[in-house]
Amino acid sequence: MRRRKIIISLCILLGTCVLLFMLYIFVGQEYVYAKKYADTLLEFDIPEKTEVIERDFDYGVLYGGGPWGSGGYPTVVAYQQVKTNLSERDLFEHYNTKDFEIYFEGTEEVQKNGKDQIWYEGSIKNKRALSAEENNEQAIEAVIQYRKEFSYPFFIDLY
C-alpha cells in the first residue's frame, strides 16, 4: 500500500512538472526572449541633455505585413521617445552604433495593427542632411526604435 502511494505521488509530481514546462513553452518563453532583445535599446545609455518621454516594447508576428511578412517569426519592437538639446547629428551618432532606427520629429508615422501593438515607420534622415546645431533654446524630439526578428528553443507560434 505504501509503495502505491509513493508511485501515485511521483506521478502527480511528474505531471505537475510537465504541465509547468508546457506552460513555460506556450506562455512565458517568447516573452523572456523578446525582453532580452528589447533590452538592447531599453538599457542602452541615454546621452547627456536627453530625457526619455516614453518607452515600451512589444512582440508578435504582425509587425508590418502579417504573419508571412516576417516569415512567421516573432518580431520584437522596442522604442523610446526622447527629448534632447543635442544636435540631430550628435543624437544620430550616439544611437547609430547599433541597428537602431532613428526618426526625428515629423519624419515618423505611428503604425498600429489589429492587436493594438504599435511601432514606427517613416523616413530616416541621411547623415549628411542632419543638423549639427545644438538645440539649447528648444529641445527636439525623436523616436529611437529597435526592430528584430527572433527565434527561441522549442519555437511554437500560436498565431
Position 151, amino acid: S
In a domain, 81, yes or no: yes
Burial 14-25 (b: 16+ CB within 10 A, else e): eeeeeeeeeeee
In a domain, 44, yes or no: yes
Give the pLDDT band of residue 138 (cuts 50, 70, 90): confident
Q: Which structural domain, as residue segments, surrounds residue 113? A: 2-149
Higher pLDDT, 96 or 132: 96
In a domain, 154, yes or no: no
In whole angstroms, what is the distance from residue 134 CA to residue 116 CA? 36
What is the tens place of the pLDDT at every residue in 21-75?
877 766 667 777 788 888 888 889 999 889 999 998 888 755 554 434 445 667 8
Dihedral sign for Cα atoms in the order 64, 66, 70, 76: positive
Name the domain count of the chain: 1
In a domain, 158, yes or no: no
Residues whose CB is less than 8 angstroms from the CB of residue 55 and which lie 6 or more positions away in sequence, other chains included: 42, 78, 79, 80, 81
pTM above 0.85, yes or no: no
What is the tens place of the pLDDT at every residue in 81-122?
999 999 888 888 898 877 898 998 888 888 877 777 888 888
